[in-house]
Amino acid sequence: MNSTEKDKIMIILANDGISKSGQNALEANGFKVLTTSVAQEQLMNFINEEQVAVLLVRSATTVRKDLIDACPNLKIIGRGGVGMDNIDVDYARSMGKHVINTPAASSSSVAELVFAHLFGAVRFLFDANRNMPLEGDSGFNKLKKSYAKGRELRGKTLGIIGFGRIGHEVAKIALGVGMKVIVSDKYINESSVKVEFYNGQFINVAIQSQSVESILKEADFVTLHVPAQKEYVIGKKEIDMMKQGSGIVNASRGGVIDEVALVEALDSGKLAFACLDTFENEPIPAVQVLMQPKTSLTPHIGAATLEAQDRIGVELAEQIVSILKSNS
């Protein structure tokens, strides 16, 4: 493609992929969408050579000051998902770039993963799935006895730290399961959770925010839904406040839990289990975390459902079309 042709067509690079429906929506509006996955060290050259105007990423690609400075043709940087800690957002905006994300599109998917972990953890599925292929034939009765002390979620208390969109979706499922829900969010005093049912009926449940300390002391299970932090939200001090034999879930951001303190708490029996979708050292989680037998682990797949990716792609496309058409 020569430079004249490139001037006629706005180029969009979806470096970490985009749903087919999102791609179709962009192409229907006259944009060219590239889905080549370009290595981070080659990204600057690729963007400049192809005259890319829009860069779409998820969590695998970083967009830092050096890339922003080196790629003056970039008009929009889009993040498919919620957190934008892999993008220098403020700097990009100060340089006149539009920075967009899709904060609502994956909320339900993350919330469902939280409960996939919780349901599995209270019935030891994370451990049973490791041991049944190894010992299911020779030690069936032994394993059956090992996993005979499961717990039900109904009637238990779920503490939600961070009560934004995802926290609300988690609360909806918890209330539907029959759990007591308590929340802590420094930006919210009281919120109403609308629990909708398949037949159009719904209930509204008012929930008041309380301190993190009270959440930790009261909850049977704690789930984190906070942005990336400079310091731990949950460290040894906070774990010590938690109930003996409680469990914790992190499907938000790596680095919000002190993993050294977490492993120690699991080893000692202070915590019954930890469910982790995000890790301090992604994409190479600490071996001590991976090998701890009381952990239920997934590789940062909270938003990785077909439905969520479809919503993300369409929402990104709508925002891009709105921005570029209004500026044309």
Residues marked as catalytic: 253, 282, 300
- For residue 82, the surrounding DSSP H or E stretch is none
User: Strand 221-224 to strand 76-79: parallel, antiparallel, or no bridges (unpaired)?
Assistant: unpaired
What ranges in 29-124 are assigned the alpha helix state H?
A: 43-49, 65-70, 89-94, 107-122
242-266 in b/e form (b: 16+ CB < 10 A) is bbeebbbbbbbbbbbbbbebbbebb
Please state the separation of Cα 35 from the chain's center in Å.
22
Those residues whose C-beta lies under 8 Å from the C-beta of residue 280, and which sit 6 or more positions away, are 254, 255, 257, 259, 286
User: Strand 202-208 to strand 190-196: parallel, antiparallel, or no bridges (unpaired)?
Assistant: antiparallel
Strand partners for 204: 194
Distance, in Å, from the CA atom of 55 to the CA atom of 77, rounded to the nearest integer, reads 5
**Among candidates 64, 22, 87, which has minimal Cα distance to 312?**
22
Distance, in Å, from the CA atom of 324 to the CA atom of 319, rounded to the nearest integer, reads 9
Distance, in Å, from the CA atom of 99 to the CA atom of 56, rounded to the nearest integer, reads 10
